[in-house]
Structure 1
Amino acid sequence: MYDNLGASQVGMQRPPLNPQPNPFGNAFYGAGSGLIRGGLGAYGERILGSGSDYVESNISKYFSDPQYYFQVNDQYVRNKLKVILFPFLHRGHWTRITDPVGGRLSYKPPIYDINAPDLYIPFMSFGTYVVLAGFSLGLLGKFSPETLSLQFTKGLLGWFLQVALLKVLLYSLGSGEAPLLDIVAYAGYAFTGMSLAVLAGIFSSITYYILMPWFCICMGIFLVKTMKRVLFAEVRSYEKHSSRHHYLLLFMAVAQFPLFFWLGNVGS
């Protein structure tokens, strides 16, 4: 049976088991792969290189290294709280200490400079504010996970509004290139005095209404001093528009009153 099947297919040509390679195909394939690896690889490397240069030269102007804002110690925290809560007692200068690194201008971290912004105090103050707000809600008989979550969202919204206020102010004054995390830190310092006012309100409403305006004034003074330092450092035409600058800075200070009382009114 198998012999007859093989005999009937004698005239048919079977494909070779080991076909001969095509030298022209290999040549073209090698040239194509070399082109991909060489030309496209170099092109991609050039794109990535230019992209990293763009990130370093442009985005770094608006964002900073987050680790920079957490280089703090106990001494810095104590002194910084004094500057925030009693800014008129700060007798030193308000300018930051420069630290040139690699031919670029940078600044000393908070642990070495009391005027440097940090994120440790704002985050701790915000957490304290949420905890005290929850405790106050419990005393009012309004505590629930939903109300605490609402108060947390309200605090974040207030923080965002403060950041937006400072950014718009800097753009209006011609200095919009301050790093975003700097602005976030400056805006978050508001929760320091606010937490103390909410704590006082737990024991006495009269004390709350005495301390809240005080901390509004102190925060306004702190922000005015800080923003003027940024303006003097980055805006060359400060003297030409000094009156407009002063009005905008005054508006920023006055805006602390509705913001503080809105956030301090827990449970509303």
Structure 2
Amino acid sequence: MYNNYGNPPGMQMPPIGQMPPATGQMPSANPQPGQFGNPFYGASSGLIKTGLGAYGEKFLGSSSEFMQSNINRYFSNPQYYFHVNDQYVRNKLKVILFPFLHRGHWTRISEPVGGRLSYKPPIYDINAPDLYIPFMAFGSFIILAGFTLGFMGKFTPEAINLQFSRGLIGWALQIVILKGLLYSMGGGEVPLLDLVAYGGYLFAGLSLAVVSRLLWAYSYYVMMPWMSLCMGVFLVRTMKRVLFTEMRSSERHSTRQHYFLLFLAIAQFPLFFWLGNIGA
């Protein structure tokens, strides 16, 4: 009898390495080489990997150059706008608050850099836009608005938040007006941070008007129109410089351009009075 868990009595199984082949199956004399044993497979795989790697590097390089060119085109270098000193800040505030007294030119100073013209930073050019004055003026305006609300007995966190939001909206409106003016006049692509700087200069005049209101309430009705007029003159002369630089000389004195610049100057009055109406 057979043992269910072993071999028949008296019979020994050969070792595993000496097992005969099954009936009807003959050992293959020439085994088929696998894909990893084929030398052509390794060569073709290497070529494919090299080609894909080169294509990927080329694609990423072109994408990086495209993004970098668009960033420089629309946003420029943020560090450029903070390269200022005390002398520049004083002189720039004089130009913004009293543009009628500016006897110099309004053209920016350029210099060749890397085979193309580039503008000098604000520390070397009084006509260059900066972001230091707009941000400092915006912060000063919010602080002065808080003092004004305190003197009026209306100081609350909600009132400060409302004034902060109103200031940001006014800043954005100024940028939209400047961008629309340049677009309608066919001006070239001006870096966005340039427009942010030009639009933020209005808070310098607003801060001065609010200070005069704190000192004497009735002076507000004199300082606010004056600051609106000064900002209008400053922006008109600045935008004329931008348009003259980027447009042909035959189009510089068109009637349409004068109307748009006049609209830019007039728009400063309602914008100033809306932002300066603190506590309303």
Cross-structure match for 1:249: 261
Cross-structure match for 2:201: 189
Query: Which one-letter code corresponds to 2:86 in the other structure?
Result: D
Is the Cα–Cα contact under 8 Å of residues 244 and 252 in structure 2 kept in the other structure? no
User: Deviation digits for residues 137-176 of structure 1, max 9, x if unmatched?
Assistant: 1222221212111111110000000000000000011114
Q: 2:83 aligns with which of 71, 87, 101?
A: 71
Is the Cα–Cα contact under 8 Å of residues 167 and 176 in structure 1 kept in the other structure? no
Cross-structure match for 1:261: 273
Cross-structure match for 1:212: 224
Query: Which one-letter code corresponds to 2:123 in the other structure?
Result: I
* 1:97 and 2:98 correspond: no
Query: Which one-letter code corresponds to 1:136 in the other structure?
Result: T
Is the Cα–Cα contact under 8 Å of residues 134 and 197 in structure 2 kept in the other structure? yes
- Paired residues for 1:46-61 under 5 Å: 46-61=58-73
Distance 1:113 1:73 in 2: 11
Q: 2:155 aligns with which of 143, 147, 150?
A: 143
Is the Cα–Cα contact under 8 Å of residues 231 and 238 in structure 1 kept in the other structure? no
Cross-structure match for 2:237: 225
- Structure 1: state its 5+ residue gaps: 14-19
Distance 1:179 1:226 in 2: 14
RMSD: 2.6
Q: 1:126 aligns with which of 118, 121, 138?
A: 138
User: Deviation digits for residues 189-208 of structure 1, max 9, x if unmatched?
Assistant: 00001011112112322111
Q: 1:39 aligns with which of 51, 59, 73?
A: 51
Q: 1:174 aligns with which of 186, 192, 198?
A: 186
Distance 1:238 1:117 in 2: 27
Is the Cα–Cα contact under 8 Å of residues 81 and 130 in structure 2 kept in the other structure? yes
* Segment of structure 1 superposing worse, 53-62 or 122-131: 53-62
- Structure 2: state its 5+ residue gaps: 22-30
Cross-structure match for 1:154: 166
Cross-structure match for 2:35: 24
* Segment of structure 1 superposing worse, 26-35 or 85-94: 26-35
Secondary structure of the 1:99 match is strand
Structure 2 length-normalised TM: 0.85
Give the greater-gyration-radius structure (CA): 2
User: Deviation digits for residues 241-267 of structure 1, max 9, x if unmatched?
Assistant: 621101100000000000000000112
